[in-house]
Structure 1
Amino acid sequence: MNRRALATTVLADVVAPLAVFYGLRAAGVDAGPALLTSAVVPAVRALVTLVRHRRIAWSAALVLVLCVASAATALVTGDERVMLAREALVTAALGVALLVTVPSGRPALFALGRLVLADAGHDARSWDDRWRGSARFRRIWRVLTLWWALGFLADAALRVLTAYTLPVDVVPALHAVQWFPVLAVLLLAGHVWLRRPAHRELVFS
């Protein structure tokens, strides 16, 4: 994702919903309707993405389905906390998707690392040789993929916990910034794991 696309995603999926929610709350709108209205921006963006590309973009489809499903559930049950917990399903889905690849022939983090290597102009075939010939190399990437899977699942659990225990007005802002410490921990620990003396030569040589 380039910088422009990243900026658009952050503005549409994070900044705009927060601005709508807190703007409506400041105007005296109840939390439930404010949450429903704030979900319109990412839902519309996801729908536009699907229509524009004229093919299934799974991330956009997931966002749209979650927005509609959580909004419908909140309307039926009258519980705005269903809307607050919506994002937990996204990170849970990511965690499960990564977890499924751990025992496979291409764990997700290995495939991603290989793609980055190839995009940087390096010969990624050496990694294929190491994958076939080194049990330790395979273990490195399986453990790293498992670490990220568990991290996303923990993030999802934390989002559900905070959605149902903290004041409603606190949760949207908290969930918006939660990504940063979670990703920082995952990235830092993953970097330390790859840079261990026993792993460094296999991964970076």
Structure 2
Amino acid sequence: MKISSKKKLILSIAFSIVINGAIPVLVYNLLLGHFSSFVSLLLATLIPLGDYLYHLVKFRKADAFGLFMLTGFLLSLAAFVLGGNERLILLRESMVTGLLGLIFLGSLFFAKPLIYHFAIRFSASNQGEKKGQFTKNWEIPYFRFVLRVMTAIWGIALLGEAAVKIVLVYELSISSFLAVSQIIFYCFIGVAILFTIIYRRYAKKRLDLIIHN
């Protein structure tokens, strides 16, 4: 029995939450009886890294989320070397998402925003005709406006996710923060994706009218 793409996505997200959220919480609490809170937390972060390396070896390519987790782990190591504390380790992902948010917003000041390059890479990389049409559409002011709006929304969403986590990391216990961290991440990313899908459909209809008039 074939699993629909939507169900595959839901299962993938659920599995990722378990690997990157639930299991690290469990490991952290189990290690607390044997190691300090800092070391226990650092060891718990090895689990997402292991998941990333497994997919890297199996599929021989790095996905965006895997790179995100790897960057977070490297920030954790930096925190350890620099004598950071548990809160700094917990903020590693927020540092990454916050930086990405700033990059998205900063790209608005360049000739072509980040979403344009992402769309070229993932939407039309293997379809020469569509890629050519996409490049041609860039000459249309409304098309440029749409891509800049999408870039701005993603930048705001990533910065918003980082801001919420920065507040919660000092309000919640370490176990509680580990439990809700991935949920917060997927909520913000989910809203950004939902906006992109809905806005893209609306913009496509309007763009078609502009092209054919």
Q: TM-score, normalised by structure 2?
A: 0.71
Equivalent of residue 79 in structure 2, options 58, 63, 70 = 70
- Could you list the runs of 5+ residues in structure 2 that have no partner in the other structure? 1-7
Q: TM-score, normalised by structure 1?
A: 0.74
How big is the shift at 1:42?
Answer: 4.3
Secondary structure, counterpart of 2:175 in structure 1: coil
Q: Are 1:127 and 2:131 an aligned pair?
A: no
Structure 1 residues 117 and 83: CA distance shift in structure 2, 3 A = closer
Secondary structure, counterpart of 2:148 in structure 1: helix
Please provide the CA RMSD for this pair: 3.7
Work out the number of aligned pairs and report it.
193
How big is the shift at 1:64?
Answer: 4.4
| Paired residues of 1:140 and 1:199 also in contact (CA < 8 A) | no
CA distance in 2, matches of 1:136, 1:38: 47
Q: Are 1:15 and 2:8 an aligned pair?
A: no
| Paired residues of 2:104 and 2:155 also in contact (CA < 8 A) | yes
Aligned to 1:202: 207
| Paired residues of 2:157 and 2:192 also in contact (CA < 8 A) | yes
Give the alignment of 1:87-98 within 5 angstroms.
Answer: 87-98=93-104
CA distance in 2, matches of 1:115, 1:135: 21
CA distance in 1, matches of 2:187, 2:166: 17
Structure possessing the higher relative contact order (Cα contacts under 8 Å, 6 or more residues apart): 2
Structure 1 residues 18 and 43: CA distance shift in structure 2, 3 A = same
Aligned to 1:168: 174
Q: Deviations over 1:137-170 (max 9, x none)?
A: 1111011101101110111111111111112210
Q: Are 1:142 and 2:148 an aligned pair?
A: yes
